[in-house]
């Protein structure tokens, strides 16, 4: 009887420890999410800025990569000191990396777009080629910037798919903002629809080459085709109204 009591006492201790571990992990995750709020707020402000005005914004905007590298290292160090299951630690670490990747991807997208709108014709490289910085940062560029040695392609791809949602939202917001009081006059800002449609189309073609066995990736990829359809509809509508008059080369 005593042995049975001890057996259940041990189980009770393990349950209590697991609850305590989860609480510590949830607190760390919450604090990490709070640390990224300023960056997400900045990204949201960019989505309300028309492309032709982005360059003025980026004259006063610093690159986030070094700050994010320091922030990620800080939280991963704290995570390594927590007592928890290895699977729990790995899951939260991957979240830290994925969320940081998304901010870096967004920062790169808007920065390259801002620079592209200062030239004529508008020329954008999807990925870095030689001295030409790509509008979509590659896994190697991202993980190097964040100071992470092992490239986690799943985290990168999930963050990249999240970025496509930003492209759709930004295109929609730009068309609305440009249309207000413009009396249906053509503008370089409408070309954003064509740019983002091309970028998402290229990403969709790339994802179609992958064998996506991860459930989360497959689900997000299914949403990519709807993003592509939304952008194509926007471009089609703008074309019917002859509002896209500025050319853009997407390489």
Which domain range does residue 82 map to? 2-250
Other beta carbons less than 10 A from residue 198's beta carbon? 18
- The pLDDT of residue 58 is 84
Which ranges of the chain would DSSP assign to H, the alpha helix? 2-47, 51-58, 65-80, 86-116, 139-145, 153-179, 191-207, 215-240
pLDDT in tens, 196-211: 999 999 998 888 888 7
Displacement of CA 124 from its chain's centroid (Å): 19
Number of structural domains found in the chain: 1
pTM of the model: 0.86
Q: Which residues contact 204 (CB under 8 A, 6 or more apart)?
A: 224, 225, 228
- Closest C-alpha among 123, 128, 129, 130 to residue 108: 128
Q: Please give the mean pLDDT across all residues of the chain.
A: 86
DSSP one-letter code for 146: T
- The pLDDT of residue 183 is 64
CATH of the domain at 102: 1.20.58.2140
- The pLDDT of residue 5 is 59
- Closest C-alpha among 151, 150, 139, 121 to residue 206: 139
Q: How far is 131 from 248, CA to CA, in rounded Å?
A: 19
pLDDT in tens, 52-82: 999 888 877 667 888 999 999 999 998 887 8
């Amino acid at each position: 009887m005593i042995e049975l009591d001890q057996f259940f006492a041990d189980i009770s201790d393990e349950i209590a420890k697991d609850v305590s571990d989860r609480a510590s992990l949830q607190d760390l995750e919450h604090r990490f999410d709070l640390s990224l709020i300023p960056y997400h707020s900045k990204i949201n402000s960019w989505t309300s800025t028309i492309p032709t005005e982005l360059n003025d914004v980026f004259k006063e905007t610093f690159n986030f990569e070094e700050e994010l590298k320091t922030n990620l290292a800080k939280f991963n160090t704290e995570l390594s000191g927590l007592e928890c299951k290895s699977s729990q630690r790995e899951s939260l670490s991957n979240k830290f990396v994925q969320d940081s990747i998304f901010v870096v991807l967004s920062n790169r997208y808007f920065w390259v777009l801002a620079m592209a709108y200062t030239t004529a014709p508008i020329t954008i490289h999807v990925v870095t080629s030689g001295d030409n910085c790509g509008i979509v940062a590659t896994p190697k560029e991202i993980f190097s910037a964040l100071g992470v040695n092992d490239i986690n392609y799943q985290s990168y791809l999930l963050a990249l798919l999240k970025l496509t949602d930003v492209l759709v939202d930004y295109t929609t917001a730009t068309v609305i903002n440009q249309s207000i009081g413009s009396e249906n006059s053509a503008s370089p800002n409408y070309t954003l629809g064509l740019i983002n449609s091309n970028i998402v189309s290229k990403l969709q073609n790339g994802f179609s080459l992958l064998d996506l066995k991860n459930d989360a990736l497959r689900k997000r990829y299914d949403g990519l085709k709807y993003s592509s359809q939304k952008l194509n509809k926007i471009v089609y509508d703008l074309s019917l109204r002859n509002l896209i008059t500025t050319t853009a080369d997407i390489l």
